[in-house]
Amino acid sequence: MAGPVLISTDLDRTLLFSPRAIRQLGGALPADPVETLVRTPGGQTAAELCLAARTALAALPGHVTMCLATSRTPARLARLTLPLRVHYSVAANGGVILADGTPDPDWAKAIRRELRRAAPAASVLALFATFTGRPWLERIAEPDDMCCLALVDRAALPGGQLAEIADGCERLGWRASLVGRKLYAFPAGFAKERAVAHVAGRLAQDRGASPLRLAAGDTEHDRLMLEAADLAWVPAGSELSARPSARFRVTMLPGHRAAAQITREWLEASASASCPPRRAG
């Protein structure tokens, strides 16, 4: 009998790619849109899933549990129309866990404690706003209690300015990070790896055995989640591919071709996970 398998995966630039990202990275394949920005004329495609990855995901066997692990807030995650059953979702870089769409009550309680230790998001947005008018600051995104986000011109952002922002966020109990054009700030206690470990514990209790853990991601937000997995994948051309760990498998090609390789190898690893399951605890 196959043992349980938990796949925890980042989304943007790991499984999903925007047309802009594909133009930058290469690795194009036939793909379907899974996110459309309705506020743009005609509806601009914001994220696509390639057909090869879609086919592999549909073929994953029943002993596999999918856990999306993203920096997207729950509202931004809800914009996606993914063609797969998602058992668990980790949103806001670990601030939220959804089990079949319902917030995990134990995790929500722990996160409320973390939020009490941090300043309100409005304080972080006020910090971002002090840089309004600087040539590197393109836009500050809509506020969210669990995430503050600004879009920046990375090439124009002085390193000293980023350090200043990071220090200011730290004083407020938040942690700043720059991923591509996106300047994020999350409460300091948020972490994907902690949330995914909680999901793995829930799954072990439900199945009576600790799952084989597979993971994929592309940025430093994902590194510790990948290092905690039994097998981990990183797309070529990503932030982590430039600073890889010996524990990561870097794909041969970037973009949709990376997603196709990752999902195909998940399918192969899941099919071979037929050894006696490891007992929980």
Residues 241 and 234: beta-carbon distance below 8 Å: yes
Which of 171, 187, 203 delimits the end of a domain?
A: 187
- pLDDT for the residue numbered 37: 81
Q: Which residue has the tokens 């990202």?
A: 21
The pTM for the full model equals 0.90
- pLDDT for the residue numbered 258: 98
Six-digit token string for 12? 């943007």
Q: Which long-range contacts (CB under 8 A, 24 or more apart) does 41-48 make?
A: 45/18, 45/19, 46/18, 46/79, 47/11, 47/12, 47/16, 47/17, 47/18, 47/80, 48/16, 48/17, 48/18, 48/19, 48/22, 48/256
- pLDDT for the residue numbered 281: 41
Q: Which domain holds residue 159?
A: 119-187
Q: What whole-number distance in Å separates Cα of residue 225 and Cα of residue 200?
A: 12
Same-domain pairing of 51 and 172: no
Residues forming a β-bridge with 9:
68, 216
Run of H or E including 186: strand 182-187
Same-domain pairing of 77 and 194: yes
Same-domain pairing of 248 and 161: no
Same-domain pairing of 54 and 141: no
Could you say which residues of the chain have pLDDT below 70?
1, 38-43, 274-281
Amino acid at 58: A
pLDDT in tens, 235-280: 999 999 998 788 899 999 999 999 999 999 999 999 887 544 444 4
Same-domain pairing of 174 and 148: yes
Q: How many domains does the chain have?
A: 2
